[in-house]
């Protein structure tokens, strides 16, 4: 009896399952993969922050989530760090992508989440993903202006344009390079993050055109005119590294080669890229990734920016000059200052490892590299060529 009724129950369950199969198709559709989910549409702030937290725990072997501050309305300013040793100080360069500093330019929100998902899914089998994760600490900030995004504001909630809110180093206007204390909380958080560790290179993501824009953004005169930094050759190379791989930039009729000097396009003051270049020696460019603000399909953005994003991060950090400065015998790391040619940019070695990273365009003509160790009153110059392979030039200096 028990046996018979057990059979009947089983048959019944099978029939129900079959009924479910025939009329409930969606029940059996595979759920979206995380990569498909971040490409399906735009997340609001709640969903974005939740996804970043979930990502950091799902990909915890290569990811770490950090809150670097809060927006005016108290939203967390979150940064994902990707590396094979996330959260640890290592002899490796730091790089950051910052998106959505203008609330009405959200493309980079989903784009940076997509980059994170791709790295998590592709490491270590994909060679590019492996070079990035093993070679650097990659930081991704999908939104610098969460309040502006929610309110559909270009500025932050106090109506301040965050890309005019950094201490203005070009015209100076009496402000210099240090914080005035009047910056918006979003600006302060990002400034403090740039000051917290040596960032070799960076880019920030916007919409309104297709172009890679490089410093200076300002001119002392205030007129629209090309204002090159002393590292113009390297900045042009870095902007081309991005633009030449981007279908819309590379084919631009408005901007030859898809690149422009900021001040030659239109001068701005208090922008992020001029400030990081002059204050922390971080080589940063500004990317305009879509022409009509707020309309970029995440899948198209990813298709167009995947190669530019990965290659720019690699070339800017590992494709230039890098090395270390140590004491003979003990090999103790030394605090040194590295300068190149006539450039005023000073690259410093880290206290802990004595390592340094200095973006430089490839060149067969040698650069004159000066290494100074102030504590020992020691200076030496080296002729260094930077290969066209992307592998960079290595300069390991042993000081007597
Ligand atoms: C944010 O998006 C989620 C998921 O789509 C939705 O459930 C939630 O209601 C949204 N929150 C707000 C404040 O719009
Ligand atoms: C520029 O456009 C041409 C023609 O559409 C295309 O073949 C080429 O790949 C584009 N350039 C880049 C870098 O994608
Ligand atoms: C540093 O070295 C230079 C050149 O060798 C020398 O002229 C100078 O006196 C030294 N300064 C100190 C503080 O030792
Ligand atoms: C670098 O090369 C130039 C030109 O060949 C030479 O004059 C100079 O002495 C070299 N400097 C160093 C430090 O090797
Ligand atoms: Zn913008």
- The tens digit of pLDDT for each residue in 375-390 reads 999 999 999 999 999 9
Q: Could you tell me the maximum CA-CA distance found in the chain, to the nearest angstrom?
A: 98
7 pLDDT higher than 60: no
250 pLDDT higher than 80: yes
Question: Ligand nearest 243 Cα, by number?
Answer: 2
* Integer angstrom CA distances of residue 275 from 15, 100, 160, 260: 68, 18, 17, 18
Rounded distance, CA 25 to CA 218, Å?
58
Question: Ligand nearest 290 Cα, by number?
Answer: 5
What ligand 1 atom has the least distance to the C-alpha of 43?
Answer: 2
- The tens digit of pLDDT for each residue in 166-193 reads 998 666 554 578 888 899 999 999 999 9
Q: Taking the model in full, what pTM does it have?
A: 0.92
Contact 46 CB / ligand 1 (< 6 Å): yes
Residue in 89, 196, 190, 68 with CA at minimum distance from that of residue 137:
89
Contact 9 CB / ligand 2 (< 6 Å): no
Give me the percent of the chain exceeding a pLDDT of 90. Answer: 88
Contact 50 CB / ligand 1 (< 6 Å): no
CATH architecture of the region 34-318 = 3-Layer(aba) Sandwich (3.40)
Helical segments of the chain, H only: 2-23, 34-39, 45-58, 107-122, 127-135, 146-151, 185-196, 232-243, 247-250, 262-265, 272-280, 298-318
Is 105 in the active site? no
Question: Ligand nearest 37 Cα, by number?
Answer: 1
Every domain of the chain and the residues it spans: 1-30, 34-318, 322-399
Cα 115 to averaged position of ligand 5 atoms, centre (Å):
20
Output the average pLDDT for the chain: 93
- The tens digit of pLDDT for each residue in 98-138 reads 999 999 999 999 999 999 999 999 999 999 999 999 999 99
The pLDDT value recorded for residue 180 is 86
CATH of domain 322-399: 2.60.40.1120
**Substitution site in 368, 369, 380, 382 for ligand 4 pocket (most atoms within 8 Å of beta carbon):** 368
In the set 81, 183, 288, 335, the catalytic residue is 288
* Residue nearest atom 9 in ligand 2 by C-alpha distance: 247
23 pLDDT higher than 60: no
Q: How many CB atoms lie within 10 A of CB 283?
A: 29
Contact 383 CB / ligand 4 (< 6 Å): yes
The pLDDT value recorded for residue 19 is 41
Cα 244 to averaged position of ligand 2 atoms, centre (Å):
10
Q: What is the DSSP string of 244-288?
A: TT-HHHHT-SSSGGGEEEHHHH---SS-HHHHHHHHH--EEEEEE
* Residue nearest atom 1 in ligand 1 by C-alpha distance: 44
Cα 37 to averaged position of ligand 1 atoms, centre (Å):
14
CA distance from start to end of the chain:
94
Cα 377 to averaged position of ligand 3 atoms, centre (Å):
6
Cis peptide before 202 (omega within 30 of 0): no
| CB contact set of 330 (below 8 Å; sequence gap of 6+) | none
The pLDDT value recorded for residue 29 is 74
**Substitution site in 40, 41, 42, 44 for ligand 1 pocket (most atoms within 8 Å of beta carbon):** 44
The pLDDT value recorded for residue 14 is 42
20 pLDDT higher than 80: no
Contact 36 CB / ligand 4 (< 6 Å): no
């Amino acid at each position: 009896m028990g046996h018979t009724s057990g059979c009947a129950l089983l048959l019944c369950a099978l029939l129900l399952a079959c009924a479910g199969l025939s009329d409930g198709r969606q029940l059996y559709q595979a759920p979206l993969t995380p990569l498909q989910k971040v490409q399906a549409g735009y997340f609001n702030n709640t969903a974005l922050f939740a996804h970043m937290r979930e990502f950091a725990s799902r990909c915890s072997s290569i990811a770490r989530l950090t809150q670097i501050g809060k927006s005016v309305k108290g939203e967390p300013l979150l940064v994902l760090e990707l590396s094979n040793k996330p959260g640890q100080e290592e002899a490796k360069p730091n790089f950051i992508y910052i998106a959505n500093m203008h609330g009405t330019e959200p493309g980079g929100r989903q784009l940076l989440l997509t980059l994170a998902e791709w790295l998590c899914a592709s490491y270590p089998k994909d060679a590019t993903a492996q070079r990035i994760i093993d070679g650097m600490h990659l930081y991704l900030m999908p939104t610098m202006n969460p309040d502006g995004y929610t309110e559909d504001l270009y500025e932050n909630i106090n109506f301040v344009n965050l890309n005019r809110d950094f201490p203005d180093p070009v015209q100076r206007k009496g402000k210099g390079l240090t914080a005035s204390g009047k910056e918006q909380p979003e600006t302060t958080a990002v400034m403090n993050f740039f000051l917290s560790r040596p960032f070799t290179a960076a880019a920030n993501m916007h919409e309104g055109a297709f172009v890679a824009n490089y410093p200076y953004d300002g001119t002392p005169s205030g007129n629209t005119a090309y204002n090159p930094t002393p590292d113009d050759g390297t900045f042009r190379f870095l902007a081309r590294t991005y633009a030449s791989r981007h279908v819309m930039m590379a084919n631009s009729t408005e901007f030859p080669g898809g690149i422009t000097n900021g001040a030659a396009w239109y001068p701005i003051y208090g922008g992020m890229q001029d400030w990081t270049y002059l204050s922390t020696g971080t080589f940063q460019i500004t990317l305009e990734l879509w022409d009509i603000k707020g309309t970029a399909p995440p899948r198209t953005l990813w298709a167009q920016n995947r190669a530019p994003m990965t290659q720019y991060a690699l070339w800017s950090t590992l494709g230039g000059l890098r090395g270390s400065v140590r004491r003979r015998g003990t090999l103790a790391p030394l605090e040194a200052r590295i300068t190149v040619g006539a450039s005023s940019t000073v690259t410093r070695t880290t206290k802990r490892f004595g390592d340094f990273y200095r973006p430089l365009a490839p060149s067969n003509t040698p650069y004159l590299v000066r290494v100074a160790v102030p504590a020992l009153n020691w200076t030496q110059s080296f002729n260094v060529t930077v290969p066209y392979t992307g592998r960079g030039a290595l300069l390991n200096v042993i000081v007597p």
